[in-house]
Structure 1
Amino acid sequence: MPTWIAITIAAAFLQNIRSSLQKHLKGAMGTTGATFVRFGFGLPFAIFFVLALHLIGGYDWPPHFPAVFFVWVAVAALAQITAQALLIQLFSHRNFAVGTAYSRTEPAQAALFGLVFLSDGVSPVTLLAIAISLVGVMLISVARSPISPKSLVMSIFTRTAGIGLASGLFFGLAAVGYRGASLSLGGPNFMMQAAITLLAAIFLQTLVMTAWMLWKNPEEIGRIRTAWKVSAFVGAAGATASFGWFMAMTLQTAAVVKALAQIELLFTFASTVLFFREHINRLEFVGCILIVAGILVLLLA
């Protein structure tokens, strides 16, 4: 099994754990706080990864830090903050599995961003994948209302669908940005490049989110302090998952990595039914399956 496949599956499992814990935290704090813990509590783990690779693994530092590295990190870090906040907000509108499925158009959007910014390949099959996933999103949007051709078409313009698609868009932009940042380092190896990129990104995200909370929502800091134990688990799972994503995306294009990452939906369905006790109706299930089918088409392409 190629290394990037094993890493991606492990990262998808950890990301589902992180998302489940964040949904739990949404009841104890607002969207801002639940978004912050993903980054703020992940920073110590990102530092640990870099130091462990250098001091224990014996890996050297990257040969240089070009300006484009910092540009890519800034773009990707801010895009990920936006995507994460949108996803958490989405959990308030729909159940956990359906909320996650909305953002699963990310690989198709990452393919387009990869084509534009990194010259990653795209084919007619990729466009087919996008169309299949879009139909899935439309089905999910109308799953709990009377269905007609008009409602099916208009579903893509609903507020809930818009939030989900926007989340996927920013996640896709972040994925391509992180791949661009890691590749720009040029060495010494995919693990160290990924760890350095992760540390730079989480450091910036923590600064931005802390400043935002102090300015707009200082009371969230108290809520975060109260829920620090769960927040620590969120940070650990999130940082480790991101380390996995960054390593995989250094070895393979962002779109293909994120396509395989749709295996997370299997973990998500299990969490929805077993832990959150939420109901998924038949049409929502079909919509989720279509999204996964579109992503599989992309992967085969």
Structure 2
Amino acid sequence: MEAWIVITICAAFLQNLRSALQKHLRSALGTTGASFVRFGYGFPIAIAYVTALHHFAGYPFPDLSVSFAVWSVIGGLAQIFATILLVYLFSLRNFAVGTAYSKTEPVQAAIFGLLLLGERLTPGAIGAIVVGVVGVMMISVARMPLSWRNLLVALTGRTALIGIASGAIFGISAVAYRSAALSLDGPNPVMQAAVTLACVTTFQTVFMLGWMLLKDPSEIGRVIRSWRSSSIVGLAGVTGSACWFTAMALQQVAYVRALGQIELLFTFASSYFVFRERINRMEAAGCTLIVTGILLLLMWK
């Protein structure tokens, strides 16, 4: 099995863990604070990770460039706003459905990858991604009585648009991160991904601290007081990001994000066992299509 596949599955599991913890934090913190903790408590770990790779693995630091800085800032800002939209989405729909809307990302990532990096997919891979997205759409309408009106609302309503926007911005972020990592003249993809992660999370922490100081300084105090649960979110978030960054340095973004839809399997498990949210037959069928799309992707890549 190729390394990027294993790394992506680990990333999806850790991302689901982080999102579940953020949903719990949403009751104690605002949307901005719950979004900030993944960066604010994660960046010291990212810096420690780079330092460990340098001192213990012997990887030299890559030379930074203007191109790296530009892509890192674009990716960092996009991830911040996409995360805020996703956390807000959890307050509008249940955990599984909220995550499902954002999982339209692979199609959008494929488009951005083509436009920005010139990355093309095989016809089989495109078909596999479409199968997975159809599964996502089935999950999004599973709680509504079947009718054309409800289908239209599900695909064009406020909740859907927020979720799709979140997926689009996550797609931009992923392509930007891959561009940043590839712009480094580094020793290997692991070190390139680690340096990108450390620089991006540090920038995101500074940016969001400034934002909270301007908009709601009291939120900073709440973030500090919740350090026990917030630090776990930061650890899960930065570890998952390290896996995502490494996978995207090894493989095209669209493939990585399409395989990353396996997160929805972990999401449904969390939704059922942790949040006690019931899963109906349509959601189960959508989940089956997502798994089918992933298997087809691995077969036809």
Tell me the TM-score normalized by structure 1. Answer: 0.93
**Structure 1 residues 289 and 95: alpha-carbon distance in aligned structure 2, compared to 1, 3 A threshold:** farther
Identical aligned pairs, as a percentage?
Answer: 58
Within 2, Cα distance between the matches of 1:298 and 1:111?
A: 13
Within 2, Cα distance between the matches of 1:246 and 1:10?
A: 12
SS at match of 1:122: coil
Contact 1:33–1:221 (CA under 8 A) maintained in structure 2 = yes
Pairwise CA distance, 1:200: 1.0
Give 1:112-261 correspondences, 5 Å limit: 112-125=111-124, 128-129=127-128, 131-261=130-260
Gapped regions of structure 2 (runs ≥ 5) = none
Within 2, Cα distance between the matches of 1:291 and 1:7?
A: 19
Structure 1 counterpart of 2:204, one-letter code? Q
**Structure 1 residues 97 and 142: alpha-carbon distance in aligned structure 2, compared to 1, 3 A threshold:** closer
Within 1, Cα distance between the matches of 2:2 and 2:136?
A: 31
**Structure 1 residues 115 and 297: alpha-carbon distance in aligned structure 2, compared to 1, 3 A threshold:** farther
Q: CA RMSD in A?
A: 1.8
Pairwise CA distance, 1:281: 2.2
**Structure 1 residues 115 and 68: alpha-carbon distance in aligned structure 2, compared to 1, 3 A threshold:** same
Runs of 4+ in 1 over 2 A off after TM superposition: 122-146, 280-301
- Match in the other structure for 1:45: 45
- Match in the other structure for 2:69: 70
Give 1:15-54 correspondences, 5 Å limit: 15-54=15-54
Contact 1:105–1:130 (CA under 8 A) maintained in structure 2 = no
Within 1, Cα distance between the matches of 2:141 and 2:213?
A: 39
Structure 1 counterpart of 2:231, one-letter code? A
Within 2, Cα distance between the matches of 1:161 and 1:125?
A: 27
Pairwise CA distance, 1:133: 4.7
SS at match of 2:119: coil
Give 1:102-113 correspondences, 5 Å limit: 102-113=101-112
SS at match of 2:92: coil
Q: Tell me the alpha carbon deviations over residues 151-178 of structure 1, each in whole angstroms, 9 at most, x when there is no partner.
A: 3234211111111111111111111110
Q: Tell me the alpha carbon deviations over residues 47-101 of structure 1, each in whole angstroms, 9 at most, x when there is no partner.
A: 1011101111111111x32211111101111110111111111111111111111
**Structure 1 residues 272 and 176: alpha-carbon distance in aligned structure 2, compared to 1, 3 A threshold:** same
**Structure 1 residues 169 and 37: alpha-carbon distance in aligned structure 2, compared to 1, 3 A threshold:** same
SS at match of 1:147: coil
Pairwise CA distance, 1:136: 3.8
Q: Tell me the alpha carbon deviations over residues 99-126 of structure 1, each in whole angstroms, 9 at most, x when there is no partner.
A: 1111111112111111110111135445
Structure 2 counterpart of 1:3, one-letter code? A
Within 2, Cα distance between the matches of 1:220 and 1:116?
A: 38
Structure 1 counterpart of 2:170, one-letter code? F
Aligned residue-pair number: 300
Contact 2:101–2:137 (CA under 8 A) maintained in structure 1 = no
Gapped regions of structure 1 (runs ≥ 5) = none
Within 2, Cα distance between the matches of 1:23 and 1:252?
A: 30
Pairwise CA distance, 1:291: 4.6
- Match in the other structure for 2:55: 55
- Match in the other structure for 2:266: 267
Tell me the TM-score normalized by structure 2. Answer: 0.93
**Structure 1 residues 160 and 285: alpha-carbon distance in aligned structure 2, compared to 1, 3 A threshold:** farther
Contact 1:98–1:288 (CA under 8 A) maintained in structure 2 = no
Contact 1:179–1:254 (CA under 8 A) maintained in structure 2 = yes
